Structure formats: C-alpha cells, structure tokens
Structure 1
C-alpha cells in the first residue's frame, strides 16, 4: 500500500523549505522521481534537499550535464535532469547504475525519459501550480518510501 503526503507551498522559499523537511525525513539513501511541468519547481525543491545536507553553493539544474553530484560530509546526492536526453541508452554509457546505492540520494527530473535504465523510485514527487501556489504531492513506491512519508507526515503534524 502506498502512502501519500501533500501540501501547498506559498512561494519559492516555501518550496526550498519543504525540500529541507523532506531531507530530514530521509535516514539513508533514496531514489526520488520528480514530476512537473517546466518551471514547476523541481530544481528549487532539490535545492532545499541539497542545502539541508550542508551544501553552501548554488544548486543548478543539470539540464546539459545530465547529473550534478554533491559529495557532502554526511550524504552523497545526485541530481539528474533527463529533459534533454536523446536516447535512454546514453544513461548506460555514463555509468548511471553506479550512482544508485543504499546510501546515496538520487533526485531525478523527467524520469520517464530514462526508460528501464533507472533504479526504481522509493518516492514519486509531483509539483504543480494551484492558483498562485505550488502543490507538492509525495507518494511512496517502496517500504523505504513509506517510512519516509510516515516521518514526513509526523513532522507536519508536530
């Protein structure tokens, strides 16, 4: 049974903050698929996750490089943006399987373009505009994902 968490986000700052809240709910690695239209806030949300784990610099979209690695003291985070991926097989050539392990967090924008070359998602996160706000919906896809959503829901009710 999958579990879901959702909330409205007022602005960009709230989107970054929510990424930080999700980061606090991850106790080991996770694979997170990010869905949403262009400009919906996928990279902004990822910035919150990366910054919560201690990154001080910019968090940019890896649209042209496919992956932006963040090797931090406590966590390895890999931010993928597959929007411009021409052929999913390119992922095999870049060694994508090496990024997926129990301890790394992989945040993947446009995962549908990765076909069968991606690890299965623990969480599917969707960002969409509702009126003048963003809505984030986070759905678990694995037992690990359910545990993350449980922790996230408990933080929201605390």
Structure 2
C-alpha cells in the first residue's frame, strides 16, 4: 500500500519536477534562490553535459552571494578554481573537467576551509567531493535545445 497516495490515484513522485529555465533571466533567478539557501560549508555539485549551463548557474549563484549582479565571474576551466570573498562566506568555484588524476583534487584545497561554499562542475572526477556534497543540481538540455531543465536534490 502506498503511504503517500496521490489525489489522482497514482503514486506521488519521489523527485520534484525539474525547474524549466527558458532563458538567462530564469537561470539568474534560480541562482538567487539557491544562493539564499546556501550555508557556509555547503558543497554544491553542478552536473550536466557540455553546454548545459553549469557555469551560467554558478555565475548566478556567486553574483547573488556577492550581492553584485555585475561581478566578473570567469569560468574556472583553465584555472580549475576561482575564489570569491562574499558577505555570506568565502566561495570556491571549481571546474574539474581538465583534472588529470582524481588525486590532484587534494592540491586544489576545496575541502580545506570548512566555512567555504564550494561549487563544483564535473565533480564526478573527484569521488570525495561527490560523497561530501550537500546539494546536486543536474542541468539538462531538453529536446529541441531551448532552455534548460534543472533537477535539484539535497543531501
């Protein structure tokens, strides 16, 4: 017997419906919403294929945490980690796409400051980060390629 019957007679979905992000403004709005929820020590994984919008969402989160909508937030693809000082907490934005070996993640210092908020793209290359995550955001490109779908799960 289903402990959570739906009023429509079926089972309730275990995962919430994804957020549809039709444009950059919707991505910025979702980033601001996520930023309001984040606490020092949170580790957020941003997952999705190339071009799915991971960096755009990270940029929106960081700008909201910094209370600066014009803040320059470059992709950390080549630097691997970009640090930011924000009123809420220090923020580390990492992109592990170019990481050669999972052991190299220790050298990045992503877990060194327990008060930092850490945003990680391509985290599957560092299993210890996946295990420590407090939130995972999966971004998908819907059929037709317009907009993005964001699936958010919390640990």
Q: TM-score, normalised by structure 1?
A: 0.78
Query: Which contiguous aligned blocks of 4+ residues in structure 1 show a shift greater than 6 angstroms?
Result: none
CA distance in 2, matches of 1:52, 1:96: 21
8 A contact 1:10–1:134 mirrored in 2: yes
| Distance change >3 Å, CA 43–CA 104, structure 1 → 2 | same
Give how far 1:5 is off. 6.1
- Whole-Å separation in 2 of the counterparts to 1:4 and 1:139: 9
SS of residue paired to 1:96:
coil
Which structure has greater helix proportion? 1
Rg comparison, structure with higher value: 2
What is the root-mean-square deviation of aligned Cα atoms in Å?
Answer: 2.0
1:85 correspondence with 2:99: yes
Say which structure, 1 or 2, has more relative contact order (CA 8 Å, 6+ apart). 1
Q: Distance in 1 between matches of 2:95 and 2:74?
A: 10
User: Partner of 1:155 in structure 2?
Assistant: none
Number of residue pairs matched by the alignment: 138
Partner deviation per Cα, 1:45-93 (whole Å, 9 max, x = no partner): 0111111122442111101111110112232111010000001111223
2:18 alignment counterpart = 6
1:144 corresponding residue in structure 2:
none
**Does residue 1:124 correspond to 2:140, yes or no?**
no
TM-score (norm 2): 0.79
How far apart are residue 4 of structure 1 and its match?
4.4
- Choose between structure 1 and 2: higher strand proportion: 1
